[in-house]
Structure 1
Amino acid sequence: MGVHHVQLSYPAHLQAQVERFYSEGLGLPRIVHAQVLAYLAGAQRIDLVPRTTPGHGCECLGHLALQVAGVEALQQRLQAQGATALAVVRVAEGWRFYAKDPAGNTLELLQPAPLAAPRPRAAPAAQPAGHPQAPVDSAWTVAA
């Protein structure tokens, strides 16, 4: 259906420079989003997550989030094809699961839904490391 958001990481000690780059340099409006710096780029969101441990560039924090329909069927289809696909879980924006492409890139597959909508089936699942869980509040608010 389209790109929902992109998540990138940055060294935690560079937060002030990262904020200036996205807000003043690129002119993107900052929005309130739990545990990350978040900006709107048109209708899409850019999430920036701080890295606090030294190491290689990505540390598996970066990922592409695609907006999908039929999240449950998609997750089952990928698993049937032998792909790594975690369980579907409820999040602020709807329901999602993470999967790996054949090259090892992380994809987040997200089906937006109203907060009050019931989930088709319950399945407990842990959050993958490096992917912060937002509280159940999907309203994006432009930060002051």
Structure 2
Amino acid sequence: MLTALDHVQLAAPRGSEPVLRAFYVDVLGMEEVAKPPVLAGRGGCWFRAGSVQLHIGVEDGFRPARKAHPGLRVVGIDAYAARLVARGAAVTWDGLLPGHRRFYAHDPAGNRLEFLEPTPAPDAAP
């Protein structure tokens, strides 16, 4: 029986850890989590915000996926988008998901990230 999603792993080119740290910590507001010593030698970096965990692994010959992405739920999506823009990230709004407001951004390696917030359900008429 599945009980939760533990983490999402994204890939990035070898040597990109410094710019990824700057993006995930300074732009997104996540904290870096130390990798276990047995895995640290492989490169990459891990991040967390609350129960959300993203692991970035290095991949030789890396090419970012064009469609695949994690969907990250936020509270206060307008303020969060403004935070990203103020820190130099481009955001692209998308109004196609019913019941949600959402936008996309890309990390420095080109990984697509979706940020979404449910919209309140309209009150039912009596």
TM-score, normalised with respect to structure 2:
0.42
TM-score by structure 1 length? 0.37
